[in-house]
């Protein structure tokens, strides 16, 4: 396997207190030379803090610690133990070597230190050649065992350097090298991507579709890591994973309990299965942030009532729902108390699906305890069968399209062969093995202490960012000025139980006290009128910043700073928020976070404020915008445009219209599957926004943000004053007034200044 490995690295820690001319210092230099001669890359650190920084940022294959302390110093020092604890947290199993004088290597000197050291050598007795040989051998053993099953098998197979006479046709990338464009493509991605792109004939690796060989080993390991009975690696994103679960659980005319705050793949699952939905509607606040579904809405009595009253379900009221799905956590970071949610939903259905596309890391940090699907030990599970889907490519470390399905078998469990029939319908027979391997690695990275270390680092950076922004908000508003405000609790609990301001709390308390992130009834900060106690928490790493414009009651202030303008400014500097509403800008903190990235965001927000307050010319600040529509923007300043936008929002209040569109369900005329069949039959037509009264949508209409259906296929737009029609008309006015700031609305196309939606012909209904 050596041909496929990157160059091995050794971190040598030699504190500055060690005299380079001493015997210990000279011996260390000789050892470094021996390792270099063996093609080992050396990283040197002259302090324990430097060494910790290397461990956090760089993969190493061994650590060599030079110790030149007296017996008493060794007994009293914790520096080495702290360093090795950091190594264990971030890179477990890395072999550690201690160099010391002979009489100071006794395990009696510092037992805790020696427990963390693999081998200990005397600089007075052991030769550098011998020690280097031992280190290299240990590094090779470490490399052999550190890789997860599928990645290891792929690298071993790649070392064969086969002559293949089967697909794929590029044959390890050689086919690409035969034209200039193809060769550039090959050079851009590198040889190993193409060498590891193999067809399903490679039986030695096993089969993704049959879940055998290295693929089976990988999924078995993932199930252990994520706390499932079975895990299935997906290569078509969580969209495909969601559809797989639904197709395994549902058949035509089964009743499905659906979180209305759902991804479009859930509607696609309804289309594929022909199930009849009964919807649970979540709450929303004045900023358009989607809150939790209430406990009463999730309760069996409420679901029974809606089944009995629903146009699509009333004739099937005697049937028990076969499936229920909840989005957890939501795009805005709302995380349910999953134990309570599971208990409530299990009164209605024996199969519960938690779409945790944005929440795959929750199991690995105690701040999320009790708020994710695969809680505790799988062997202790009782009750309904529970599914969880994770987009490993979103907030874990995998390639795009990578996903996992995790299953805990309970009541109404689906056996492997039946479930795999649905799985194979949504999985390519020619998978890109690199996606599969990235899933394998993403799971492995969360194994043991490294999962806690990685998630803690992300949470820490998000907490520090929130506190920094809040302190700036306080400083500016004390002077009668404005700044962005982080959306989170304003009074929190310290680790000792003391109540303090959020910005004054210790980082440790905000990383460990879960109650600091719970939405409590009556709290003003979250803006939800009715929240159940101990029901929902905010994910610390999903950071929403609020811009001025609304008071705590959702009423407009005299002046405001539209979030769309903030996002446009940030984009000019290569900073892309994940969501922007009228007065909310949202950022996802992920495992790719760095302190520099965090601080640059703060600096850029300050820069925006400076230019906004100075009413800097748009031709200087946003030249591309002015160039795209000079008749609208030429001669304006940044604040001039902000004022115009704010006045528009006050006049039209599109956020309130959208809230109304989401808070009440449109009348359902047809199953989503039936509506789709009209599309296939061609019984559809494009209808302008001013002609939508009483028309039935052929497919869903999905405004971005928030990226969830405002209207599903088969639902009626209602009267001309319906919130759904009013919202589309409000968007038309916004687009006309502010070109370059158009909203994306999937399922609606703009022609001649009006939005058009594909509707079912009235003659076909």
Which CATH number covers residue 303? 3.40.640.10
Could you tell me if 570 and 604 are in contact, meaning their C-beta atoms sit under 8 angstroms apart? yes
Closest CA to 219 of 491, 453, 437: 437
Give the 3-state secondary structure of 190-202.
Answer: CHHHHHCCCCCCC
Give yes or no: residues 640 and 683 share one domain. no
Regarding whether 279 and 174 lie in a shared domain, the answer is no
In a shared domain, residues 547 and 417: no
Half-sphere exposure in the Cβ direction for 200 (13 Å, CA): 11
- What are the C-alpha distances in Å from 487 to residues 540, 541, 701? 10, 12, 28
pLDDT at residue 171, as a whole number: 84
pLDDT reported for residue 23: 61
Residue 527's domain comprises: 453-652
Are residues 426 and 502 part of one domain? no
Give the pLDDT confidence of 155-213 residue by residue, as tens digits.
887 766 666 666 788 888 889 999 999 999 999 998 888 888 887 766 778 999 999 99
One domain for residues 550 and 636: yes
Q: Could you tell me if residue 535 is inside a domain?
A: yes
SS3 (DSSP) at 33: helix
- Provide Rg for the chain, Cα atoms: 29
How far apart are the C-alpha atoms of 448 and 446, rounded to whole Å?
7
CA distance linking residue 75 with residue 109, whole number of Å: 6
Identify the domain boundary among 603, 628, 652.
652
State both tokens at 757. 């939606």
Q: What whole-number distance in Å separates Cα of residue 397 and Cα of residue 439?
A: 8
Q: Are strands 744-746 and 702-704 parallel, antiparallel or unpaired?
A: antiparallel
Residue 388 in any domain: the answer is yes
Distances (CA, A) of 577 to 272, 353, 517, 736: 33, 29, 22, 24
Read off the pTM. Answer: 0.91
User: Is the same domain home to 676 and 643?
Assistant: no
Please indicate, yes or no, whether residues 593 and 660 belong to a single structural domain of this protein.
no
Category of 747 on φ-ψ map: left (φ > 0), alpha (ψ -120 to 50) or beta: left
Same domain? For 429 and 286 the reply is yes
- The C-alpha atoms of residue 256 and residue 274 are separated, in whole angstroms, by 10
Would residue 156 count as lying in a domain? Answer: no
Q: Tell me, what's the pLDDT at 593?
A: 87
Written as one string, the DSSP assignment of 10-28 is EEEE--TTS-TTSHHHHHH
- The count of other CB atoms within 10 Å of the CB of residue 365 is 20
Is 160 inside a domain boundary? no
Q: State the DSSP code for 483.
A: -
Nearest to 280 by CA among 239, 237, 321, 339: 321
Cβ-count burial of 686 within 10 angstroms (0-12 exposed, 13-18 middle, 19+ buried)? middle
Q: Are residues 217 and 139 in the same domain?
A: no
- Alpha carbons 290 and 526: distance in angstroms, whole number: 11
Segments of the chain with pLDDT less than 50 = 1-4, 105, 107
Residues 740 and 635 in one domain: no
d(CA 34, CA 36): 5
Cβ contact 351:384 at 8 Å:
yes
Q: How far apart are CA 529 and CA 515, in angstroms?
A: 19
How much is the pLDDT for 196? 83
Helix and strand numbers, DSSP H then E, in the chain: 29, 25
Residue 392: inside a domain, yes or no? yes
Q: What is the DSSP letter of 229?
A: S
Residue 151 maps to a domain: no
Domain-located, residue 273 = yes
Same domain, 646 and 661: no
Report if residue 2 sits inside a domain: no
Q: Which of 201, 227, 245 is the last residue of a domain?
A: 201
- Tens of pLDDT, residue by residue over 503-536, are 999 999 999 999 999 999 999 999 998 999 999 9
Domain count, the chain: 5
User: 392 and 470 share a domain?
Assistant: no
């Amino acid at each position: 396997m050596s041909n496929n490995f990157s160059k091995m690295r050794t971190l040598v820690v030699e504190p500055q207190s060690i005299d380079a001319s001493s015997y210990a210092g000279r011996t260390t230099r000789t050892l470094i030379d021996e390792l270099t001669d063996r093609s080992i890359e050396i990283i040197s650190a002259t302090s324990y803090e430097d060494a910790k920084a290397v461990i956090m940022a760089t993969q190493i294959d061994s650590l060599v610690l030079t110790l030149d302390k007296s017996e008493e110093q060794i007994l009293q020092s914790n520096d080495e133990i702290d360093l090795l604890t950091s190594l264990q947290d971030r890179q477990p199993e890395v072999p550690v070597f201690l160099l010391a004088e002979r009489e100071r290597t006794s395990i009696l000197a510092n037992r805790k230190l020696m427990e963390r050291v693999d081998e200990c050598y005397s600089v007075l007795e052991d030769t550098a050649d011998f020690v280097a040989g031992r280190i290299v051998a240990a590094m090779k053993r470490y490399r052999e065992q550190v890789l997860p099953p599928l990645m290891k098998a792929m690298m071993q197979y790649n070392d064969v350097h086969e002559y293949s006479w089967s697909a794929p046709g590029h044959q390890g990338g050689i086919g690409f090298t035969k034209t200039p464009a193809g060769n550039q493509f090959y050079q851009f991605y590198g040889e190993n991507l193409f060498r590891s792109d193999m067809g399903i004939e490679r039986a030695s690796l096993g089969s993704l579709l049959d879940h055998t060989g290295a693929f089976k080993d990988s999924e078995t390991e993932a199930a252990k890591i994520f706390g499932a009975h079975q895990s299935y690696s997906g290569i078509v994103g969580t969209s495909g994973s969601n559809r797989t679960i639904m197709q395994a659980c549902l058949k035509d005319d089964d009743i499905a309990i659906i979180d209305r705050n759902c991804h479009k793949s859930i509607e696609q699952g309804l289309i594929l299965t022909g199930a009849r939905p009964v919807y649970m509607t979540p709450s929303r606040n004045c900023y358009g942030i989607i809150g939790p579904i209430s406990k009463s809405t999730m309760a069996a009595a409420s679901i029974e009532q809606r089944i009995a009253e629903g146009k699509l379900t009333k004739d099937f009221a005697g049937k028990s729902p076969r499936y229920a799905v909840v989005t957890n956590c939501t795009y805005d970071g709302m995380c349910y108390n999953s134990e309570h949610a599971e208990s409530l939903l299990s009164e209605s259905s024996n199969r519960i699906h938690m779409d945790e596309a944005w929440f795959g890391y929750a199991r690995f940090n105690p701040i999320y305890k009790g708020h994710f699907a695969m809680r505790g030990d799988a062997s202790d599970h009782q009750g309904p069968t529970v599914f969880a889907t994770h987009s490993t490519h979103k907030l874990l470390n995998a390639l795009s399209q990578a996903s996992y399905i995790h299953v805990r078998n309970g009541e109404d469990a689906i056996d492997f062969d039946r479930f795999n029939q649905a799985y194979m319908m949504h999985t390519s027979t020619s998978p890109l093995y690199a996606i599969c391997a990235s899933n394998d690695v993403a799971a492995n990275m969360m194994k043991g202490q490294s999962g806690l270390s990685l998630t803690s680092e992300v949470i820490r950076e998000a907490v520090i960012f929130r506190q920094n922004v809040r302190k700036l908000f306080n400083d500016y508003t004390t002077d009668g000025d404005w700044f962005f405000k982080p959306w989170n609790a304003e009074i929190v609990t310290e680790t000792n139980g003391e109540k303090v301001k959020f910005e004054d709390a210790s980082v440790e308390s905000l990383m460990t006290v879960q109650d600091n992130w719970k939405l409590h009834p009556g709290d003003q900060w979250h803006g939800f009128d009715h929240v159940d106690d101990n029901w929902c928490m905010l994910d610390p790493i999903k950071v929403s910043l609020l811009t001025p414009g609304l008071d705590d009651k959702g009423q407009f202030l005299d002046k405001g700073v539209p979030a769309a303008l903030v996002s446009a400014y940030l984009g000019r500097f290569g900073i892309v928020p994940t969501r922007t509403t009228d007065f909310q800008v949202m950022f996802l903190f992920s495992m790719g976070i760095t302190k520099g990235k965090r601080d640059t965001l703060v600096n850029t927000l300050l820069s925006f404020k400076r230019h906004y307050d100075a009413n800097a010319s748009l031709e200087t600040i946003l030249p591309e915008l002015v160039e795209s529509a000079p008749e609208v923007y030429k001669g304006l300043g940044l604040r001039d445009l902000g004022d115009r936008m704010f006045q528009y929002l006050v006049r039209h209040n599109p956020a309130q219209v959208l809230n109304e569109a989401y808070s009440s369900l449109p009348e359902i005329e047809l199953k989503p599957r039936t509506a789709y069949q009209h599309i296939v039959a061609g019984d559809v037509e494009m209808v302008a926004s001013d002609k939508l009264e009483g028309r039935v949508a052929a497919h869903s209409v999905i405004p971005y943000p928030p990226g969830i259906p405002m209207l599903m296929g088969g639902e009626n737009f209602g009267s001309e004053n319906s919130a759904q029609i009013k919202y589309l008309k409000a968007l038309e006015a916004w687009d006309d007034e502010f070109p370059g700031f158009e909203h994306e609305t999937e399922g609606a196309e703009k022609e001649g200044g009006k939005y058009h939606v594909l509707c079912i012909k009235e003659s076909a209904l």
